[in-house]
Amino acid sequence: MPHAWVNAEAVPRFYPNAVTLAHDETARQEQLGTIDILTKSNLPGRWAVKDSFNQLDLSRRGFEVLLEASWIRCAMPMGDATSDIGWQRETSGGSWPFGDPGFAKFTGRRGFRAVAGGMLYRSDGVVGLSNVVAEAADAIAVWRSLILLSSQAFPRLPLVGYESGNELAAALDAGFEIGDPLRVWVRARE
């Protein structure tokens, strides 16, 4: 579907079942129709829709706003990522797609203790950054490290993602630019 990505099955916790991919009027109408079909399906528990362009009002369809965020983008590495966190690219464990050359999962450690992390996924000429984990005191250094790790793993590609709150502030301080707003809606199964 060119207007949305849809998974009509159970998804991992914190992942949406639908993501909007276009924002013109025709796409919005198709997205609402798709969401109505999902609403009548047998999705278990809570499920979510990521409105990538902040264009849908799903409140009358039984959804609540889970998260309001902004897209972020970093075209080139900048700044110093110096910290006492050592980074490692993971190559196994769990059900992550480690065999996919477009995927990279990094873990940051102090000694033997994992204290930070992030995942990168190359697609359509950009690298998506998600699942960033950092303690507040390390946040800016972690974001800068992930920018540099992305430039090493996937040279010359811009880095994109979305964040809100303190994480958004840390990403901006690390060199990201803020983009358009987005919204994640959630609905509980009746």
Q: Where are the domains of the chain?
A: 4-62, 73-176
pLDDT digits (tens, 9 = 90+) for 53-76: 999 999 999 999 999 999 999 977
SS (H, E, C) 70-87: EEEEECCCCCCCCCCCEE
Cβ neighbors of 162 (< 8 A, separation 6 or more) are 69, 70, 71, 72, 182
Model confidence at 10, pLDDT cuts 50, 70, 90, reads confident
The CATH fold of domain 73-176: Aminopeptidase (3.40.630)
pLDDT in tens, 132-154: 999 999 999 999 999 999 999 99
